[in-house]
Amino acid sequence: MLGNFVRTTYKVNRRHFHKSRQLNEEFENPIFRTFRILRDDIQLKNRPKNRIKSQDRSFPRHADIVIVGGGAIGSSIAYWLKEKSNYDGVKVVVLEKDPTYKKCSTALSVGGLRQQFSLAENIQMSLYGAEFLRTLKKRFGPDADVNFHPHGYLLLANEEGAPLLEDNNKLQRELGAVNVLLTKEKLKERFPYMDVSDVALGCLGLEKEGWFDPWSLLTLLKNGAKQLGAQYVTGEAVDFLFEEKSSIMVQGVDQGTYEGTNTLVVKLPNEDKCREIKFALCIIAAGCESAEVAKLARIGIGPGMLSIPLPIEKRKRYVYSFNCQGNPPSINTPMVIDHSGAYFRRDGLGGSFIAGRSPDPENEPPTDNMDVDYSYFDETVWPLIAKRVPAFNAVKVTGAWSGFYEYNTFDMNGIIGPHPYFLNMYIASGFSGHGIQQAPAVGRAVAELILDGRFQTIDLTRLGFDRLIVDKPMYEVGII
């Protein structure tokens, strides 16, 4: 639909990595590159030892693919690019400004895995996520483990939401999910500790659903990518350098005025001077900071197609941990998603649980800090979960944390694929809280798109940036 917007004299498929690489006018001739590396190495060896910085040897001046963001999504993309290219075929550099991941959305998520969505793409990505977790040891060795709890999800619907729950269940089962619809009577029989008087229908995942340790999955993906040859650089993207590309014509723009980029400017810790990385392709996978990175590439602040921003905002969510002081729900209690928006699940084998609820849009908490509002639990979360589970009327809060995630204000679903203006820039962000469970599938999909020229296993075309231009949101229906 949008193919006419960008034409090149090379008649190139912008989705194919190798052709994009040919368009990169600044890409070094391999022979010249070899001589330059040898020259630089000799110069380094001849320097006084006290003048040699470790970054001089390790900082990459060139890369085939630069990934901005080293969380679960970025690391999964790096892993799959190296795995599919037979390890040495593509030089992949991952830029991550905080290697401790202290504020990373991945590390602070609750690690849920479910197939109970209304969009086929999300169901399929989650199904693959479950398969990926099942085969971790084959990929990463016998010690690979993410502490998966296969207790399922239980989504509860009132009278208004019950028809949507039925429709979603039908699609989920058609695509291979294993779950079951439970009437009010069946819910009471199966979960006697719940008050379901205001519930019309429930959907319980029987296989491939539950929760896991997101930090462990991130560690496996990152280490796996590094072992296959991906290079991680600690630094922050601060700019892109642009050049006029006279060989590329864009509809609606005077010939010769197209400006592209193949240089990323990076600020390293404890260095005043910025450095540059030349690339063939760049992937923006910076989570809740992706919109700011996109602005560096003029996405959202430029003319024409560049006037359409990446619609991602940082949102803060609270997660509370508490002990049930009475007779707690059974050990195999699923992750319960109430029709009020509140959720809870077990946290270990004792009487410990975690719970939370997304705030109403008009009461979003500030994102300039990571402070936790404990009154939100007392006034909002606790009344809802205590109504659902009477035993929760007596609880003791033992802790809490807050975390950020990238909220796609357009339709709350991921944006995956190339930007329609730039020939060599891809986006993988905006997953609105579902990124950790979709990371394995997203990484594989982006690698397919780049290395094979198209999606091979799950067609994610509808989740591309183009839907923003034609104003066709991909909403989830009846899903919390």
- DSSP, residue by residue, 119-186: SHHHHHHHHHHHHHHHTHHHHH-TT-----B---EEEEE-TTTHHHHHHHHHHHHHTT--EEEEEHHH
Q: Within its chain, how far is the Cα of 332 from the centroid?
A: 28
Instruction: Read off the pLDDT of residues 262-307 as tens digits, 9 standing for 90 and up.
Output: 999 999 998 999 999 999 999 999 999 999 999 999 999 998 889 9
- How many whole angstroms separate alpha carbon 276 and alpha carbon 253? 29
pLDDT at 203: 98
Q: Within its chain, how far is the Cα of 398 from the centroid?
A: 29
pLDDT at 105: 85
Does residue 35 register a pLDDT over 70?
no
Instruction: Read off the pLDDT of residues 221-234 as tens digits, 9 standing for 90 and up.
Output: 999 999 999 999 99
Percent of the chain with pLDDT over 90: 77
Q: Are residues 431 and 401 in the same domain?
A: no
pLDDT at 251: 64
Evaluate whether residue 477 is within a structural domain: no
Evaluate whether residue 175 is within a structural domain: yes
Instruction: Read off the pLDDT of residues 380-438 as tens digits, 9 standing for 90 and up.
Output: 999 999 999 999 999 999 999 999 999 999 999 999 999 999 989 999 999 998 999 99
* CATH code assigned at 53: 3.50.50.60
Evaluate whether residue 124 is within a structural domain: no
Evaluate whether residue 319 is within a structural domain: yes
Tokens of 57: 């040897």
Sign, CA torsion 445/248/238/266: positive
Q: Please state which of the ranges 128-142, 151-165, 241-255 shows the lowest mean pLDDT.
A: 241-255
Tokens of 327: 């007779």
Evaluate whether residue 204 is within a structural domain: yes
Q: Tell me which amino acid residue 130 is.
A: A
Which helix H or strand E contains 437, and what residues bound it?
helix 435-451
Give the 3-state DSSP-derived string for 82-115, with helices as H, strands as E and coil as C.
Answer: HHHCCCCCCCEEEEECCCCCCCCHHHHCCCEECC
- How many whole angstroms separate alpha carbon 413 and alpha carbon 406? 10
Q: Are residues 181 and 223 in the same domain?
A: no
If phi over 0 gives left and psi between -120 and 50 gives alpha, with beta otherwise, what is residue 246? alpha
Q: What mean pLDDT do residues 34-38 have?
A: 50
Instruction: Give the residue from 408, 427, 446 where a domain finishes.
Output: 408
Q: How far is CA 386 from CA 158, 194, 391, in A?
A: 17, 9, 7
Q: Please, how many CA atoms are within 13 Å of residue 457, restricted to the half-sphere of its CB? A: 14
Q: Are residues 257 and 404 in the same domain?
A: no
Q: Please, how many CA atoms are within 13 Å of residue 134, restricted to the half-sphere of its CB? A: 11
* CATH code assigned at 329: 3.30.9.10
Evaluate whether residue 425 is within a structural domain: yes
Indicate the SS3 state at residue 445: helix
Evaluate whether residue 123 is within a structural domain: no
Does residue 4 register a pLDDT over 90?
no
Q: Are residues 371 and 451 in the same domain?
A: no
Instruction: Give the residue from 368, 389, 408 where a domain finishes.
Output: 408
Does residue 51 register a pLDDT over 70?
no
Q: Are residues 278 and 303 in the same domain?
A: yes
pLDDT at 15: 38
Contact by Cβ (8 Å): 71, 285: yes
Q: How far is CA 204 from CA 213, 243, 341, 354, 380, in A?
A: 21, 54, 16, 19, 25
Instruction: Read off the pLDDT of residues 438-451 as tens digits, 9 standing for 90 and up.
Output: 999 999 999 999 99
pLDDT at 256: 52
Q: Are residues 277 and 389 in the same domain?
A: no
Q: What is the pTM of this model?
A: 0.87
Q: Are residues 418 and 305 in the same domain?
A: yes
Q: Please, how many CA atoms are within 13 Å of residue 220, restricted to the half-sphere of its CB? A: 23
Q: Are residues 12 and 89 in the same domain?
A: yes
Does residue 20 register a pLDDT over 80?
no
Alpha-carbon dihedral 78, 84, 88, 91, rounded to 10 degrees? -40
- How many whole angstroms separate alpha carbon 270 and alpha carbon 394? 50
Report the candidate in 423, 401, 420 with the shortest Cα–Cα distance to residue 461: 420
Q: Are residues 36 and 171 in the same domain?
A: no
pLDDT at 24: 44
By residue range, what is the domain housing residue 178?
Answer: 150-209+313-408
Please report, for the chain, how many H helices and E strands are present, in that order.
Answer: 15, 20
Instruction: Grade residue 87 by pLDDT with cuts at 50, 70 and 90.
Output: confident
Does residue 237 register a pLDDT over 50?
yes
Q: Are residues 52 and 88 in the same domain?
A: yes
Evaluate whether residue 28 is within a structural domain: yes
Q: Are residues 49 and 70 in the same domain?
A: yes
Does residue 44 register a pLDDT over 70?
no
Count the domains in the chain. 2
Q: Are residues 78 and 226 in the same domain?
A: yes
Q: Please state which of the ranges 100-114, 119-133, 183-197, 374-388 shows the lowest mean pLDDT.
A: 100-114
pLDDT at 36: 52
Mean pLDDT for all residues in the chain: 88
Indicate the SS3 state at residue 200: coil
pLDDT at 258: 86
